Structure 1
């Protein structure tokens, strides 16, 4: 456990208790009403004003600083996953088929601890603080997108968020500067051909054969159209067409995902996948229908916010604690906040024997030794921003 300057053992124990409560009572994306009610109850106990002009089950609270020259937003996500938890921990999920398999219970408890601390040390808080307890990070529609559209960041100067990471050593804190996480958009494609007997292929327009060309052509977008410095990937995850040995079907369905580290890369791949679907299918005498399912944009950590966060980490915990992160092609809807305002998304390491399973695994768990430093980090960022 890293040494903390502002966080005492009583607050740490309280936070772990809250985290275990959330873990035992998980709720899926968009359904976090009991979690939201619990968070509101605690915030009310702290005397922190709840803003009721945002859509439920999101919870937004406001703490007025002593000077109020700057407004800092702090975000935690609240939703769980449709997984049946495995293991024998005393705080195992009480909801069959639902568990906190990504650490959002820890994020919520950590932000609640920050609110608790500020309520007992109001004289130390100069900046205004917006607490964002966000619904629906794991599924669409995105809770972050919804809150941004509702004006959550209108008066905010900078925003910070954390994520406990099971693939990052316990005791390390870090992030990637600039492009950090990918966009995530899905697509459905229907290829309409002309079915017939497999012995008479000349009388058909074979959608399976056309699909093979489409799958190959999509890879050329990444290798020949996308700037090599703008990482991206297109992957097919599903193909359905036909159910007989000797019948060529009249239709094939394809599903896949498009991910990019830059806005420009994402836009290019959206455009090219749609164009290739239409042109290749037309060239074979078929009809191609491309449907893009828009997801989250790329997550861009602003360099100026990263420089400040790195300085805070090193001053608070020591130079050796900061660990630069490589960009990853996973996605996070925190990217909607960073598209609008300066900020950074920070990884808090917790890889250990207790936290040896990856995120979204039925045996995933948070190593609670990481919690004190996460609370300290968020307080220091909010106080000094």
Structure 2
């Protein structure tokens, strides 16, 4: 195909895709609300997977199930010269919903507090729109692989399943979006280079003989030792790691004892270690465990430390960001592109980008003039206009090719 013919084919396909997303938008919103009302935890996304399978099959697409939950669908050329991947994550969080929305979670203690319901429907909308111009994709030798990935919220996450399954084999470029409730709906945050941080899980268990609080000198004061772990280990890391790496160890779960006058025999702390610098993250192996053991040594307790390596930073490829930039400007206008900074959030899309260039975009979900919400909280409310924006963005970025 000549360059002029390819340009005309792409322009026609782009216009058709945008029209199809607009036509689908009421249905996409309804699907998102259904997914939001029925959230599923990591590797339990059976209902979500079945919904996707039914919807995509009805549109004439052949599916490939992933080993546990989730699936893959390919659109376009069977032997492509270029293959682009669009990735969505399916899982919810063990967080009770308190948004008050009429389609709030019907599952006790579980909700879509990170916007994965939006990500899923956005890629679904892009897939359906791209299927409507499959002839143009085939004519260009372009294939689009939509990956509906489970278990992004756990460490290690479902990206490893995707890689082990070979879903990234032959992919030339990959795109994903992530909801950002700190920027307005109608805008998309883009940056070249690191956009997220490395993120690990740190699990500390202390054990001792236990005893009476009147005689801490005759036993091991385990609660005091655990408090030292909570406060001192982050301080130790701040002096053992380059401060420019942006390392941050924050505890999210702490448990020890059940009575005021009993020194417990066990205590537990679970947290996340986040590091902006990938090289420093790779060098940290063993340091957390050493710091915990050194801190508790004077208190005669035994420490078990499980430092689970999670995800490296997402590093956005410049050419992939340029494709997203063109897509945003083409679909939403020049004003829709806004700068964004690297955050300490973790995202296992980073594993998919270890050998394949790609980019993650921050999808504005705050209603202009409305409240600013926080991710991973039960009161998260998403401006639903972001659903169409994300579907258009991903579909047009895929048409941009590799």
- Common topology (TM > 0.5): yes
Matches within 5 A, 1:1-385: 5=15, 6-8=17-19, 9-52=22-65, 54-65=66-77, 68-86=80-98, 89-125=101-137, 126=140, 127-140=142-155, 142-192=157-207, 203-211=218-226, 213-241=228-256, 252-282=267-297, 286-352=301-367, 356-385=372-401
Three-state SS of the structure 1 residue aligned to 2:271 is: strand
User: What is the Cα-based RMSD across aligned positions, in Å?
Assistant: 3.0
- Check whether the contact 1:15–1:113 (CA below 8 A) recurs between aligned residues: yes
Aligned length: 381
- Check whether the contact 2:155–2:309 (CA below 8 A) recurs between aligned residues: no
Three-state SS of the structure 2 residue aligned to 1:323 is: strand
Q: Following the alignment from structure 2 to structure 1, what is the Cα–Cα distance between the partners of residues 103 and 208?
A: 54
Q: How many angstroms does 1:384 deviate by?
A: 0.8
Three-state SS of the structure 1 residue aligned to 2:323 is: helix
109-118 or 19-28, which deviates more: 19-28
Three-state SS of the structure 1 residue aligned to 2:39 is: coil
Residue 338 to residue 200, structure 1, CA distance change in 2 (3 Å): same
In the superposition, the TM-score normalised over structure 2's length comes to 0.83
Q: How many angstroms does 1:186 deviate by?
A: 2.2
136-145 or 83-92, which deviates more: 83-92
Q: Following the alignment from structure 2 to structure 1, what is the Cα–Cα distance between the partners of residues 266 and 157?
A: 32
- Check whether the contact 1:354–1:366 (CA below 8 A) recurs between aligned residues: no
- Check whether the contact 2:99–2:380 (CA below 8 A) recurs between aligned residues: no
Per-residue deviation, residues 167-195 of structure 1 (Å, max 9, x unmatched): 11121111343222122222233345565
- Check whether the contact 1:355–1:366 (CA below 8 A) recurs between aligned residues: no
299-308 or 122-131, which deviates more: 299-308
Three-state SS of the structure 2 residue aligned to 1:167 is: strand
Q: Following the alignment from structure 2 to structure 1, what is the Cα–Cα distance between the partners of residues 96 and 295?
A: 43
- Check whether the contact 2:222–2:299 (CA below 8 A) recurs between aligned residues: no
5+ long unaligned stretches in structure 2: 1-13
Q: Following the alignment from structure 1 to structure 2, what is the Cα–Cα distance between the partners of residues 91 and 216?
A: 41
- 2:10 corresponds in structure 1 to none
